[in-house]
A and B are shown apart, each in its own frame.
Chain A
Amino acid sequence: MDNESTYSGYSYKSSHSRSSRKHRERRDRHRSKNRDGSIRGEKSVVIQAPGESLLDADSPREDDRDDNWGETTTVVTGTSVDSISNEDLTQLSKDSEDSSALECRRYISPALGAILGFVSLITPLAFLALPQLLWRDSLDPCGTPCEGLYISLAFKLLILLISTWALFLRPPRATLPRFFVFRCLLLALVFLFVASYWLFYGVRVLEPRETDYRGIVGYAASLVDALLFIQYLALVLLEVRHLQPAFSLKVVRSTDGVSRFYNVGHLSIQRAAVWVLDQYYSDFPVYNPALLNLPKSILTKKMSAFKVYNLGEDNSTNNSTGQSRAMIAAAARRRDNSHNEYYYEEAEVERKVRKRKARLVVAVEEAFTHIKRHQQEDAVISSPKHPREVMDPREAAQAIFAPMARAMQKYLRATRQQTYHSMESIISHLQFCITHNMTPKAFLERYLVPGPTLQYLDSNRGRQWTLVSEEPVTASLRQGHVFSLKRLDLSLIVTATPLPFLHIAEEFIDPKSHKFVMKLQSETSV
């Protein structure tokens, strides 16, 4: 079930064809069944056991979505940007909403965008057609200049169509919590624009039955020109403005401290969040909850060092703080050997992993030598007594999997990756590698290094993230903004710093000025 609906696909000037619009609305309806969860809902979840928590631990939630609807400081999760853009057009703030209205609102805005687009496409044609239909007899005859205008009109409409298809009819990739300011602005602009043109047309042309047909055609052509300019404005605001890098975002994963730096342009916080998540899925190594920081043996030993007995005093608050302070002080004074154990344990684990890796590599290399690609010419040469069985890749993979299975399993257990790779997945990966003539090392690359998160996703489930921020999420990024993206088991903390302003000075070096001397150091005896 796809949880990720629109990012910016539903624009004001979207499709011109009704059928694709209907198809998308049908998909919307389908999608709306799977609502995103709420913050409160997430907080009540117990942390799952390490073995089970794969990446897609977020199941779609269908309850509690309206509890946090009215929060203004932290942002509520996933309703689509389209539904809130409609809200923006009608009223600016609505504190509580029941679910039925939410669902309706999801369709209203893409529908609105579609209608607006359709209307703006039809309008020039209507401007041309209406006088012809209504008062054809009294129109001035209009010869070559009109035909020239017809041609230019046709081509401009064609260009408008193609560029709208290219820019705005892309499948949406994310659901944002608040409306997208620029898009709403542009929708409003188009609406005002078309409305004012129609107003003028109605008052000045339809009423008095204007006979100057050339003027009317010129008017329609100017409308199309203006639509092209609005599309240019949309292109600049939505696509181009954020291309020049202005901020450096540091993204740190809270569970294991993996961090990356990215350069982005001027984006609002929610758009930056989507961008960061895109990069997260392909850059960050997969989060393995089984790889804890300190082995349990060391932690528990540290904890159980002190036993403090509370002999039933009434004034418990003061004593508890006094006790804890005493405990901490005593623990600090006591000689702490746990770092020693940690060091040796880590060395031991590393040695074990390296040994198993060596065994695995050898086993895989040997296994790969058992098969080779069957050439068509060999078929004649092979002797009738020992006919070589010709296998397809799947069977070949299964045949050579057996000798390496044990080594592979032991290695995966040592690196705690066994939950990510089932036997089925290993065999299909082996089949893939055999088909493409890969070496054993290429086959092993997937298991020796923890890959990016994207590699372990199944593509049919949506990803649910919560954006937590102190500033309103439609605000532009500024220096020192911190926001975080939470999921059930981990969160990403993002800090924004502006990129430094660069003073680049020029220095000219004459190529003839490169000269050298020997460094002298002579010693003379006298």
Chain B
Amino acid sequence: MSFVPGQPVTAVVERVEIQKLRQGENLILGFSIGGGIDQDPGQNPFSEDKSDKGIYVTRISPKGPADLAGLKIGDKIMQVNGWDMTMVTHDQARKKLTKKREDVVRLLVTRKSLEEAVKQSKGCYHKP
């Protein structure tokens, strides 16, 4: 998941669809995010590259909607409902996730294990 500014980013992503849960007045998703272009990337415990200013999942409430949908802690969110999440501020990311009119958010997330799984499968395929 190395990131060169200005170059297109290639990643293996997983599509996660989360149904928002209504709790009183709010629609919650059940996870916390960290990161953003206005934040300090060096303090991100989940990123491999410490200059990566993307949005990461920092906490997942157990049995919440995100947990049930298969989101894992440490995932980097690449897109939310089609909106790009790799070059946004923290507040913009929060806003895209908590739109009151939407019940469902479809995320494209990436994590290290995905890449490895793909590599493994590719490797197995190429072995004679």
Contact = CB atoms under 8 A, between A and B. Distances in A.
Chief secondary structure at chain A's binding surface: loop
B90 interface: yes
Interface stretch (A93-101, A284-292, A462-470, A515-523): A515-523
Interface in A489-526: 519-526
B33 A520 contact: no
Contact of B38 (A520, A524, A525, A526): A520
A526 B29 contact: yes
A17 to B, nearest CB: 79
Contact of B94 (A519, A520, A526): A526
B40 A525 contact: no
Chief secondary structure at chain B's binding surface: mixed
Contacts of B58: 523
A524 B33 contact: yes
A526 B28 contact: yes
Interface string B88-99: 001000100110
Contact of A526 (B33, B39, B43): B33
Max count, chain A CB within 10 A of own CB: residue among B42, B59, B90: B90
Nearest to B35: A521
Interface in A347-389: none
A519 B34 contact: no
Max count, chain A CB within 10 A of own CB: residue among B31, B33, B38: B33
Contacts of B31: 525-526
A525 B34 contact: no
A185 to B, nearest CB: 67
A520 B40 contact: yes
A519 B40 contact: yes
A523 B59 contact: yes
B59 A526 contact: no
Shortest 9 CB-CB distances between A and B: which pairs? A519-B40, A525-B32, A526-B97, A523-B34, A521-B43, A520-B39, A526-B29, A524-B94, A523-B32
12 contacts: A520-B39, A520-B90, A521-B40, A522-B39, A523-B33, A523-B59, A524-B32, A525-B28, A526-B28, A526-B29, A526-B33, A526-B98
